[in-house]
Structure 1
């Protein structure tokens, strides 16, 4: 399995088509300029060893060098070592609200992006715990099963958006029901469900289901994102606000953080509610709560130890760069005798 550490450096590959475009423009300019001072036959006699193929070969080798340097910057990592590990930890499931109300910008940059930031920072504070992710709106959808791969969890998290669900609403009850299926019933590990939502438009059955979940050994923490004063839901295209969401009567929708709902759900499952305005406060509060729970030994599992592979591509890049430097544009004597590209005609 391969992972890429710094994917943003893939943009450097755009240098390669720019190099080829510059090469083609230069060749066109050379041809046009040469025609003004000499005819092709005379030019061949004046420069018999000039090789157009070698010019193409040089730009090709230079492109390979840039390609290798770019991959080195991206730093691909390959899982080459596998070992069994035993660890103590918790099973933590994050249920993230992806309803349209999460696009409100009363919490910068908006509620959904703030939720992603909160989950990411909480994951960064973990050590040996397993994590899973659920997305929900009008329905709940399994995004990532329980895993120790934090990098994969963050990747799936960043791909979440409000277009994932066709049905709207805030089905916290369905998210809790789905979370129950995430935990291994044969293992006596402490189970935690962290719900991140604005608490709006929820089902009245959520508190009862949260209490049932607590009876099954699941502790629920809720994090509220949004402002109690409310915010508008922008409708954007290419990052530009075109309008704001309206209801069936044509009135602009104002979505508000419903803290009471989230507090009652947390209370029903022996958890706590945290306002998500301050990332540090959320992370510290969650960490304090998790540290109070007993971490049980989970079954041995295999994991891949990913090792950096950038050095191979860095070395190849320098080799191709040296080849390009020492590769002359004149014809090679022994290739000239073979006349593979009809250059002697």
Structure 2
């Protein structure tokens, strides 16, 4: 039986002991008072049966029997116990680039959908890790807190589109700031970020993002999605393709994957760079990258198969009650 904090309130049942002791004391006092009313003390020896030595220890035996009875009840009610186990686990934030360039279709069906598929398949291979989701472009926002509910995370991922960010661009620093904020209650040894992007750092904040990640103890596994040949950036209005992004000279903009920033972020933070153009390979490499720097942590796990000892406490309690019943000749609370 484990007296952990969650079931300590059951021990309030032990307050029954002083209550029972008070009742016994009050009863003795009342009985003595009634004897004195009935007859003077000099006649009481002739009028009343002489107390046996057993009657003096009877209250103590009652209290002991009740004490073990309460212990057996507490053990039964506790039902479960918390077991401290040591296991490797991470807190992983998927930092997803949702800039318009992620709509480019040089990867089938497009970069964003590939990134989302990688996230879902990666989570399907996780066991104890907590996951959260941050999306970023020119700004950043958290769309899901850290949780082990992977099915809920998959639902969130399904609804992500590039239009969720009003300010476009690709600012790694803003994304890292939001991730760091989500990690504020997490030990530094288990802070992991999976950064999924085509690597176009429009804001030039790569080095600032690295400094922040190193300061906050964040290890980054970066995933580069897209090809070096690139593809035009589709422009949609209400889900309808209206054309492709052009520059000031009305020339179609070709977006290409740029891996330098992604490789630098991973290398400087002790993480790994992963080629995200192959779903199965990318997923396996992300899992390997996360486990490479995993730290063992102590955690309390509530077990429903707790070891109980109530039968022993109950046996002791019944022994004392049976002893009282057999030895007490009047079969009553004889004091």
Normalised to the residue count of structure 1, the TM-score between the two structures is 0.59
Root mean square deviation, CA, Å: 2.5
Q: C-alpha displacement at 1:99, in angstroms?
A: 0.7
Q: C-alpha displacement at 1:168, in angstroms?
A: 0.7
Question: Aligned in 2, Cα 1:301/1:146: closer, same or farther, shift over 3 Å?
Answer: farther
Q: C-alpha displacement at 1:86, in angstroms?
A: 6.9
Q: C-alpha displacement at 1:293, in angstroms?
A: 2.7
Q: C-alpha displacement at 1:298, in angstroms?
A: 6.0
Look up the match of 1:105.
105
Q: C-alpha displacement at 1:166, in angstroms?
A: 1.0
Is 1:247 paired with 2:247? yes
Question: Aligned in 2, Cα 1:250/1:293: closer, same or farther, shift over 3 Å?
Answer: same
Q: Is the 8 A contact 1:195 1:222 kept in 2?
A: yes
Where in structure 2 are the equivalents of 1:22-37 lying within 5 Å? none
Question: Aligned in 2, Cα 1:139/1:127: closer, same or farther, shift over 3 Å?
Answer: same
**In 2, Cα distance between equivalents of 1:184 and 1:85:** 26
Look up the match of 2:150.
150
Where in structure 2 are the equivalents of 1:219-234 lying within 5 Å? 219-234=219-234
Question: Aligned in 2, Cα 1:237/1:257: closer, same or farther, shift over 3 Å?
Answer: same
Q: C-alpha displacement at 1:253, in angstroms?
A: 1.1
Look up the match of 1:297.
297
Q: Is the 8 A contact 2:104 2:110 kept in 1?
A: yes
**In 2, Cα distance between equivalents of 1:227 and 1:186:** 35
**In 1, Cα distance between equivalents of 2:298 and 2:159:** 29
Secondary structure of the 1:117 match is helix
Is 1:215 paired with 2:215? yes
Look up the match of 1:23.
none
Q: Which structure has the larger Rg over C-alpha atoms?
A: 2
Q: C-alpha displacement at 1:301, in angstroms?
A: 8.1
Secondary structure of the 2:142 match is strand
Deviations 1:208-258 (A, max 9, x none): 331331232210111011111110112346876442111233211111101
Where in structure 2 are the equivalents of 1:1-345 lying within 5 Å? 88=87, 89-185=89-185, 187=187, 189-236=189-236, 241-297=241-297, 300=300
Aligned residues: 221
Q: C-alpha displacement at 1:275, in angstroms?
A: 1.2
Deviations 1:20-40 (A, max 9, x none): xxxxxxxxxxxxxxxxxxxxx
Q: Is the 8 A contact 2:221 2:289 kept in 1?
A: no
Q: Is the 8 A contact 2:221 2:290 kept in 1?
A: no
Normalised to the residue count of structure 2, the TM-score between the two structures is 0.61
Q: Is the 8 A contact 1:86 1:297 kept in 2?
A: no
Q: C-alpha displacement at 1:98, in angstroms?
A: 0.6
Q: Is the 8 A contact 2:93 2:194 kept in 1?
A: yes
Structure 2's unaligned 5+ residue stretches are 1-79, 303-335
**In 2, Cα distance between equivalents of 1:293 and 1:171:** 26
Secondary structure of the 1:181 match is helix
Secondary structure of the 2:297 match is strand
